[in-house]
Structure 1
Amino acid sequence: MRDWLRRRAVARTAVVALTVGLGLLAAMAVVSSQSAARAADTAAATQQASQQWNEIYLKISIEYELLEDYLDSPDQNDRQPLLSSIGSAEPNLRWLLANGGDQDTRQAMALQNAYGGYTWTLRNLIDAASAGDRPGTLKFAKQAALSASGLRRQASVNVARNNLSISVVLRDAKQDIARQLIAVKVLSIADLLLVILCGLVLLTYQKRTERQAADNDYRASHDGLTGLANRRLLTDRVAAAIAEADRGGPGVGLLLLDLNRFKEVNDTLGHHSGDLLLMEVARRLRNATRPADLVARLGGDEFAVLLADVEELSDAGAVAERLLTELCGPAELGGLTVDISGSIGYSYYPTPSSSAEELLQHADVAMYHAKRNHLGVAGYEVENDDNSFEQLTLLADLRCGIDRGELELHYQPKVSLPDRAVAGIEALVRWRHPIRGLLGPQAFVPEAEQSDLMLALTDAVLDMALGDQKRWRADGRDLPIAVNVGAACLRDSGFPGRVEDALRRHDAEAGLLTLEITESFLIVDPSAAAGALARLRDKGVRISIDDFGVGYSSMSYLQSMPLDELKIDRNFTAGILTTDRGRAIVGAIIDLAHAVDLTVVAEGIEDEATLAAVGEMGCEQAQGYLMCRPLPPAEIPTWLDTWTVPALS
């Protein structure tokens, strides 16, 4: 602030000083011009007076010469010129009396009297000569000579006086001009220095303004937290890249990244930790991309990468896979360790995206498809694009479908390890849409979770599952059954009562019902989860935590929450045979679960080697395609009859 005030004071002082200097310079020019004009006027007036005195001198001299000629031969021919010349200096004397200065006026008045006597003498001389009066003529001639000499002397003195005055005026004017020139030079140098100072000040302000403009432009096109490009700059670059592609350049690839469980970090660790996480993600994205690629933050935990020189959609997919690998992993946030993961969707121009709007929209569709289905990376496919009229009417159709009984359940068994006996089955919902056919849960459950339909959907699934369990029990098959429960149900204070009513209605044993909840709800609303789970567990219902391992910090809740079972997410079990790290993580989860007396279920088992590996690590149960894919309820008895428990070796 102090520097700014100092610069402002210097600038204003320089401008004021320059204004004063230029004003003085202009004033000097005016004064010099007026002084020169006055000197010129004075010199001209004096010159005119001098000229008049000079003419008087000449005319008196001519009159006297004509007098001498007349005296030499006083005939009639020489008389007339003399008579004509008498009084010829009178006009000059009158001019001096009217226009001369004080000195010239006084001298002219004195000379006029003497000149009058001189002309009178000349006339008397002519009269005496005409009368033949020789003595009188000689007397008047002598007087005329004396008068002419005196008159000429007076005239010459005034001529010399005026010439001297002219010299003095010119000398004084020259001295004044010299002094004024010095002052002008000093002022000019001072003004030049002030102009230079003002120029430097203006240049400084211009550079500062340019820097400010560049800074404002940068702020307008970049994210303030991470320093990445923002949505505006990304949109401009996408448009430019598409224009280049239309001119024959390479295609355009766009990746859209959304972090997993970012909200949980903000809610659990605070917004400061959330900001640290976003900055770490930005750093990893910069390091994992090429200089020609543009990394942008679109807002919240959503990022984008504009790819240069992409030849086809699969190239964008390869970059997305590599980028996700570089991104995922633990990160230190203020002394706490969290695991970074995300979902990436990618699209490509000119096909299937045909415009900048479609490129962004398709990448967004692909990203949400990857997120919903836990794929990590997904490219845009038309069949996954839910932005359609059918999707807009999906919730209304689902509400009607629940009322019309269009929901169906498929069941996937779980087996015990190491004997591989059937330990229970999990109910998985399907929707027999009257137009779109059989829909899997990924097509409608995420939308239901964002609305009030999740309560009705869960109640319907629970009622159907307990109904199927009752029928199997009537056939002598007492099967434990698991039902997935959405977070909205646990927030509903009436849900535990409805579960109890459903158990009573179907004459079901509470201990044979397991409710599976997602790990994210434990983190988002731990107090609500603890209260609801405690009420359900008090009624004898078993509680399982599903998809364990993909969150940030849910391990801290295993000790405090009323849980019975933990299901390891398929993303971890898939890596126990390929990486030492994957095997170590699964082993650590199993040990942690056993430490708090939880039964462990390994999901996603698709081969014998993986099944044997999880059994060796102490996992009690397994579930996956190796044992059985999800089956309609009518096929479950047949599978149970054909499932053979292998002999123990």
Structure 2
Amino acid sequence: MRDWLRRRVVARSAVAALTVGLALLAAMAVVSSRSTARAADIAAGTQQTSQQWNEIYLKISMEYELLEDYLDSPETGDRQPLLSSIGSAEPNLRWLLANGGTDDTRQVMALQNAYGGYTYTLRNLIDAAATEDRENTLKYARQAALSASGLRRQASVNVARNNLAIAVVLRDAKDANARQLIAVEVLSLADLLLVIFCGLVLLAYQKRTERQAADNDYRASHDGLTGLANRRLLGERVSRAIADADRAGPGVGLLLLDLNRFKEVNDTLGHHSGDLLLVEVARRLSAGSRASDLVARLGGDEFAILLTGVEGIIDARTVAQRVLAELCGPADVGGLSVDISGSIGYSHYPSLSASAEELLQHADVAMYHAKRNRLGIAAYEPENDNNSFEQLTLLTDLRFAIDRGELELHYQPKVRPADRSVAGMEALVRWRHPTRGLLGPQAFVPEAEQSDLMLSLTEAVLDMALRQQAEWREDGRHIPVAVNIGAACLRDPGFPARVEGLLRQYDAVPGHLTMEITESFLITDPESAAAALTHLRDRGVRVSIDDFGVGYSSMSYLQSMPLDELKIDRKFTAEILTTERGRAIVTAIVDLAHALDLTVVAEGIEDEKTLTVVGEMGCEHAQGYYMCRPIHPDGIPKWIDSWTSVPVPT
């Protein structure tokens, strides 16, 4: 800021000085012009006055010469020229009186009297000569000669005086012009230096402007955090690459990448650590891509890589595999080790996509398919594209579906491995869509979680589950139920009170309602989670951690949170019979849960042997397709009777 202010002051000072210098130079030119004009006027006026004095001198001389001619030949009797010349200098004297300077006026007044006497003498001489009065003629001749000589001398002196005045005026004008010339040269040199300086300043300003324009253009086309290309530049390059491919050459590929569980890192470790992680991801993506590829950050934790010169979809997959391999792995973020992983979707022009818009859209569809199904990488396939009109109107339809009662619950039982008794039911929502048929939760719950509908959806499920539980209770079946709760519900301060109202409405038995929550919410917002769960637990609601072990597991929340149950994810249960590592992990989780006085539920039970083993390992409850797939509530009584009638294996 200080340098910018200094440069601005210097530039403005230089411009101001140049303006003043040019103004002074212009003023000097005006002054010099006026001074020269004034000197010329004075010189011209003095020259004219000198000319008048010179004419007076000549006319007096002519009068005397005509007199001498007349005296030399008086017998001719031709005295007319002499008479005509007498008083010829009078007009000049009158002009000098009217137009001459002070000295000229004084000299004219003195000369006028003498000239009058001279002309008088001439006339008397002519009269004496005419009467042949020789004595008077000689006397007047002597007087005329003396007068003419004096008059000529006075006229000559005034001519010399005026010529001298002209010389002085010209000399002063020359001196003034010389001084002004020096001043003009100095000012011109100063202005030249200022012009050069201002030119340098202008050139520097132009260069700074060009650099600023280039910097602004770079900022407009690149991500400020990672330095990668942004969405705008990616769009331009995609269009250009497709145009090049249309003219001649191979196709274009596009990889779209989204980090896994980045929000948890950002919320847990802070935005600064999240930024460090994004910078590291950008470095890894650049290292894993080819030199000709364009790596871009589209926003948040979403990145893209434009692949030029890609012959087919197989080549795009090869690059995607290499990029994912380079990306995945632990990273040091602010002194903490954080595991980086992501999901990549890829598409290809022209084999899969027909335009730049489709290339971007298809890569996005493939990326979300890879993320939902934990595939790592996935190519675009039309059957995975749910971006239809029905999908766009899904949330609006869901909002009305809740009000119209189109939702229904199916239940998956939980049993006790020890005696095969029924421990409870997990309520799983379904949507009987009027045109699309029965939809599973994967078709609409993820979209609801990203909107304001999750709270309404969860409360509708709670209402249906507690109503169904009350109906079973009336039939003499006291069956605990479990309901999955979204993070948005626990962030709502009024949610616990509304749950309490539903418990009173259906006269629920304390301990017969379990709320299952994911561990990621406990990590990202522990304070809100602890407050909401404590309130619910005080009202007789049990709290269960669903899919334990697949997120950023933390031992601290197991100690600090009001928990009752821990559900082991099916990923670990599936390995207890096949790997020692899987069995060791489940054993460790069970021991940890029991140490904290938590009930353990093993998910993903697919056969009798697995059910037996988890019971032997200490899991109080088990859940899976081996016992029962999710079924309509009308089929629950029949299933219970069927399940409990089977003898426990010995």
Please indicate the TM-score interval, normalised by the length of the shorter structure: 0.7 to 0.9
Where does structure 1 lack aligned partners over 5 or more consecutive residues?
417-423, 469-473, 475-479, 578-582, 641-649
Q: Give secondary structure in 1 for the equivalent of 2:121.
A: helix
Q: CA deviation at 1:537?
A: 14
Q: CA deviation at 1:204?
A: 4.0
Letter in 1 for 2:120: W
Match of 2:398 in 1: 395
Q: CA deviation at 1:125?
A: 2.2
Match of 1:10 in 2: 10
Distance 1:198 1:171 in 2: 39
- Which shows bigger deviation, 164-173 or 216-225? 216-225
Q: CA deviation at 1:47?
A: 1.2
Match of 1:36 in 2: 36
Q: 1:145/1:317 Cα in 2 relative to 1: closer, same or farther (>3 Å)?
A: same
Deviations 1:501-546 (A, max 9, x none): 99x99xxx99xx9997644344345577778699899999996742
Distance 1:571 1:112 in 2: 145
Q: What is the TM-score when the length of structure 2 is the normalising length?
A: 0.74
Match of 1:173 in 2: 173
Match of 1:419 in 2: none
Q: 1:38/1:61 Cα in 2 relative to 1: closer, same or farther (>3 Å)?
A: same
Alignment partner of 1:453 out of 441, 454, 457: 457
Q: Give secondary structure in 2 for the equivalent of 1:546.
A: strand
Q: Give secondary structure in 2 for the equivalent of 1:166.
A: helix
Task: Determine if contact 2:226/2:278 at 8 Å carries over to the other structure.
Answer: yes
Alignment partner of 2:589 out of 590, 593, 596: 593
Q: 1:6/1:52 Cα in 2 relative to 1: closer, same or farther (>3 Å)?
A: same
Distance 1:66 1:217 in 2: 101
Aligned counterparts, 1:424-503, within 5 A: 435-436=435-436, 441-447=441-447, 449=449, 451=454, 452-454=456-458, 456=460, 485-487=484-486, 491=490, 493=496
Match of 1:566 in 2: 568
Distance 1:164 1:587 in 2: 130
Distance 1:69 1:28 in 2: 60
Distance 1:115 1:497 in 2: 141
Aligned counterparts, 1:336-347, within 5 A: 336-347=336-347
- Which shows bigger deviation, 294-303 or 231-240? 231-240
Letter in 2 for 1:567: D
Distance 2:263 2:526 in 1: 14
Task: Determine if contact 1:601/1:623 at 8 Å carries over to the other structure.
Answer: yes
Match of 2:255 in 1: 255
Distance 2:489 2:399 in 1: 23
Match of 2:53 in 1: 53
Match of 1:333 in 2: 333
Letter in 2 for 1:46: T
Deviations 1:347-379 (A, max 9, x none): 344564444444433333332222222222233
Distance 1:104 1:536 in 2: 128
Q: Give secondary structure in 2 for the equivalent of 1:375.
A: coil
Match of 1:546 in 2: 547
Q: Give secondary structure in 2 for the equivalent of 1:88.
A: coil
Letter in 1 for 2:57: Y
2:147 paired with 1:147: yes
Q: 1:69/1:534 Cα in 2 relative to 1: closer, same or farther (>3 Å)?
A: closer
Distance 1:315 1:412 in 2: 47
Q: What is the TM-score when the length of structure 1 is the normalising length?
A: 0.74
Letter in 2 for 1:453: L
Match of 1:90 in 2: 90
Task: Determine if contact 1:487/1:517 at 8 Å carries over to the other structure.
Answer: yes
Q: CA deviation at 1:185?
A: 1.7
Q: 1:81/1:601 Cα in 2 relative to 1: closer, same or farther (>3 Å)?
A: same
Task: Determine if contact 2:412/2:628 at 8 Å carries over to the other structure.
Answer: no
Where does structure 2 lack aligned partners over 5 or more consecutive residues?
419-423, 595-599, 644-650
Task: Determine if contact 2:544/2:567 at 8 Å carries over to the other structure.
Answer: yes
Task: Determine if contact 2:256/2:364 at 8 Å carries over to the other structure.
Answer: yes
Distance 1:385 1:191 in 2: 73
Distance 2:184 2:587 in 1: 97
Task: Determine if contact 1:427/1:484 at 8 Å carries over to the other structure.
Answer: yes
Q: Give secondary structure in 2 for the equivalent of 1:257.
A: strand
Distance 1:250 1:2 in 2: 53
Match of 2:25 in 1: 25
Aligned counterparts, 1:52-91, within 5 A: 52-76=52-76, 78-91=78-91
Distance 1:18 1:280 in 2: 53
- Which shows bigger deviation, 125-134 or 528-537? 528-537
2:158 paired with 1:158: yes
Deviations 1:6-37 (A, max 9, x none): 44443444344333333332332222222212
- Which shows bigger deviation, 191-200 or 520-529? 520-529
Letter in 2 for 1:566: I
Deviations 1:280-333 (A, max 9, x none): 222322333345433333333223333333444444343333222222221222
Q: CA deviation at 1:440?
A: 5.5
Match of 2:304 in 1: 304
Match of 1:372 in 2: 372
Task: Determine if contact 1:573/1:603 at 8 Å carries over to the other structure.
Answer: no
Match of 1:134 in 2: 134
Q: CA deviation at 1:4?
A: 4.4
Task: Determine if contact 1:533/1:543 at 8 Å carries over to the other structure.
Answer: no
Deviations 1:96-129 (A, max 9, x none): 2221222222222222222222222222222222
Match of 2:274 in 1: 274
Distance 2:297 2:43 in 1: 85
Task: Determine if contact 1:537/1:543 at 8 Å carries over to the other structure.
Answer: no
- What percent identity do the matched residue pairs reach? 65
Match of 2:285 in 1: 285
Q: Give secondary structure in 1 for the equivalent of 2:303.
A: strand
Distance 2:618 2:293 in 1: 45
Task: Determine if contact 2:430/2:440 at 8 Å carries over to the other structure.
Answer: yes
Task: Determine if contact 1:346/1:366 at 8 Å carries over to the other structure.
Answer: yes
Q: Give secondary structure in 1 for the equivalent of 2:254.
A: strand
Distance 2:81 2:448 in 1: 140
Letter in 2 for 1:384: N
Match of 1:116 in 2: 116
Q: Give secondary structure in 2 for the equivalent of 1:569.
A: helix
Aligned counterparts, 1:220-239, within 5 A: 220-239=220-239
Letter in 2 for 1:395: L
Deviations 1:153-197 (A, max 9, x none): 222222222222222221121111111211222222223333333
Give the total of aligned pairs. 610
Q: 1:499/1:61 Cα in 2 relative to 1: closer, same or farther (>3 Å)?
A: closer
Task: Determine if contact 2:425/2:482 at 8 Å carries over to the other structure.
Answer: no
Task: Determine if contact 2:411/2:425 at 8 Å carries over to the other structure.
Answer: no
Task: Determine if contact 1:455/1:489 at 8 Å carries over to the other structure.
Answer: no
Deviations 1:555-602 (A, max 9, x none): 55456654455236389979x99xxxxx97x68745642552577969
Task: Determine if contact 2:430/2:438 at 8 Å carries over to the other structure.
Answer: yes
Two-structure CA RMSD over aligned residues (Å): 5.3
Distance 1:481 1:305 in 2: 50
Q: 1:619/1:21 Cα in 2 relative to 1: closer, same or farther (>3 Å)?
A: farther
- Which shows bigger deviation, 240-249 or 187-196? 240-249
